[in-house]
Amino acid sequence: MIAELNREFIDQLKEYIGEEASAEVKGMLQDLHPADIAEIMEELTMEEAKYLYLQLDGELASDVLVEIPEDDRNRFLRILSPGVIASQFIEYMDSDDAADVIGDLDEETKEAVLREMEDKEQAGDIADLLEYDEDTAGGLMAKELVKVNENWTVQTCLKEISAQAEEIDEIYYVYVVDDDHILKGILSLSRLIQKPTHTKVIDMITEEIHSVRTDAKQEEVAQIMEKYDMVALPVVDHMGRLKGRITIDDVVDVIREEAGRDYQMVSGITGDVEPGDKIWQQTRARIPWLVIGTVGGLLGARVLGANAGTISQIPAMAFFIPLIAATAGNVGVQSSSIVVQNIASGSRSFDSIWTKLLKELAVGIVTAIFFSGIIFAYNLMFSDNLQLTLAVSCTLFIVIIFASMSGTIIPLLLNKMKIDPALATGPFITTTNDVLGLLLYMLVARAFFGII
C-alpha cells in the first residue's frame, strides 16, 4: 500500500462512507490504483465495502474486483444482486477475468448473471469459457483477440483491426486464419503497414507459430511461454481452429499458484489450502503427511528398540543419533528440491536425467567426504573410542550418498508415474531418510564393534 493510505486516510474514508458522502469518497479514490482500493476494502466492514464499491465506475470497479482475494470477493458478491454484478462489473471485464469471477458463484447465481448481461455475445463467450477446466489452456484463455483472414488485403486488414481493437487493451499479435477459422500464422503490424494496400495477408504471414490446445494443462502453457519468451499464446481446438489467447499476466498467476502449491507440498500440506478455508479443510490437508511422519517416528523407535542392546553396550552412540537422522533428511530434501526445480523448468530428456544422476552422485561423494571428515576429526579430538569414531564417520559417509541419490531418484520416479514430484521434497523424503539413516547407523556400528 502506498504511503498515503495510512490509518488516518482509512478513518477519514470510513467517516465519509458513514455519512454517505459520495463525492468525497470518489475524490479520495480517484487517483488510486485498483490494487490499492482492493487493499482498502480489506480494512472495511462488508457494508462499508459495498457502499465504496458502488461508487466506482464500471471499468475501475471491474479492475478492483479482480484484485480482491478470492474468498473476500465471493463473500462480497453474495450480498449483491445478479443484475448489479452483471452491469457494474462483468460487462467491463475481459472474458477470462469474467469467467474466473462468475465461475466461483453458485450455479443459480451464475446463470442469473449471464442472463442479466446486455452484451449477449460477451455472455456467450463467458459461458463457453466456463465449460473448460480452470487448470487448462481453455480455462486460462480470453476470447478477445485480433484476427484476420488470409485472403484479405492490407487495406481490409487495417480496417478490421481498427474495429476489433476497440475491445482489446493490448494488441500483442495479429492472428491469421482461413475461411474455416483454422490458425495459419501471425502477422506483424510493422510489416503490415509497410506493404502496399493491395498486398494479400497470405503473402506476409509468419507460418511458424507456437500454440496450445484447449485441453493443455496450465503447466504446459507456462513452460511454452517461458521457453519461447512469448507475451501471448494462441489457443486452438483439436481441429486447429483459433479459440482464444493466453497473455503473460495469466501465466504469472499460474506460476504463482504452482509455487504456492509446491511450497505447501514441501511443508507436508496436500490439496490447495487458502487462509480463509474452514478449520476442518485446513486440518484435513495437513493430517496425511503428519500421519506419515508419525509412522516414520514409530519405525525409527522400532529400529532403536531393536538395537537397544547395542546402545546399552556403547552408550556414546546415542549422542550421534540426531546428527545422523538430521543429516540424512536435510541432504535428501536438498537433492530432491533441485531435481523438482529441474523438472518444473521442463528439462525431461533422457540425457539430462542421467547427467543429473551422475552429477548428484558426485556432489554426494564430495559432500560425504567433507562432513564425514569433519566428524572424524572432531571425534579424534574429543573421544578416545576409535571404533565409534570410525562407525559414525562411515555411517555419515554412506547416509549422505544414499540420501543424495534417493532425493534425486524419488522425484524422477514420481514424475514418471504422473505424480507431482514436489511430494518428494516434503515429509516423505525426510521421514524415509531419517529411518534408513538410523538403520544404517546401527548396522555399521554393530559391524565395527563385532556385535551380532
Structural domains for the chain: 7-136 (1.25.60.10), 146-247 (3.10.580.10), 279-449 (1.10.357.20)
Alpha-carbon span 320 to 317, nearest angstrom: 6
User: CA 387, 388, 392 angle in degrees (round to 5)?
Assistant: 120
Q: Are 358 and 403 in contact (CB under 8 A)?
A: no
What pLDDT is attached to residue 1? 44
Distances (CA, A) of 414 to 59, 172, 318, 429: 45, 38, 35, 12
Which DSSP helix (H) or strand (E) runs through 232? strand 232-236
Strand partners, 147: 175
Whether the per-residue pLDDT at 44 is higher than 60: the answer is: yes
Instruction: State the pLDDT at residue 238.
Output: 93
Whole-model pTM? 0.65
Which are the contacts of 145, defined by CB distance < 8 A and separation ≥ 6? 168, 175, 234, 242, 244, 245
CB 415 within 8 A of CB 280: no
Question: For residue 102, is it left (φ>0), alpha (ψ between -120 and 50) or beta?
Answer: alpha
In whole angstroms, what is the distance from residue 130 CA to residue 299 CA?
48
Highest-scoring range by mean pLDDT, 82-91, 171-180, 265-274, 427-436: 171-180
CA distances from 155 to 45, 152, 200 (A): 55, 8, 9
For residue 104, pLDDT beyond 60: yes
pLDDT, position 193: 84
Q: How confident is the model at residue 356 (pLDDT cuts 50, 70, 90)?
A: confident
Q: Which of 64-73, 137-146, 438-447 has the lowest mean pLDDT?
A: 64-73
Give residue 236's pLDDT band: very low, low, confident or very high (50, 70, 90): very high
234 pLDDT more than 90: yes
Q: State whether residue 213 is helix, strand or coil.
A: strand
Model pLDDT for residues 388-413, shown as the tens digit of each residue: 889 899 999 999 998 888 888 888 88
- What cell was used for 328? 540424512
Distances in Å between the Cα of 423 and the Cα atoms of 146, 195, 248 are 41, 55, 28
Contact status, residue 146 vs residue 171, Cβ threshold 8 Å: yes
The percent of residues in the chain predicted with pLDDT above 90, rounded, is 20
pLDDT > 70? residue 21: yes
**In terms of Cα–Cα distance, which of 411, 409, 435 is closest to 423?**
411
* Residue 189 or 221, more confident: 221
Mean of the per-residue pLDDT values of the chain: 83
pLDDT beyond 50 at 2? no
Contact 289, 270 (CB under 8 A): yes
pLDDT number for residue 272: 60
Q: Which residue has the higher pLDDT, 311 or 346?
A: 311
pLDDT tens, position by position, 271-308: 565 555 566 666 766 677 677 778 878 888 888 888 88
Complete edge-to-edge strand list for the sheet that includes strand 212-213: 212-213, 232-236, 242-247
Tell me the angle at which helices 46-53 and 34-41 cross, rounded to the nearest 10 degrees: 150
Give the residue-averaged pLDDT of 155-181.
Answer: 85
Cell numbers 513452460 correspond to 223
Residue ranges with strand state E in 27-137: none
* Structure confidence at residue 339 as a pLDDT band (50, 70, 90): confident
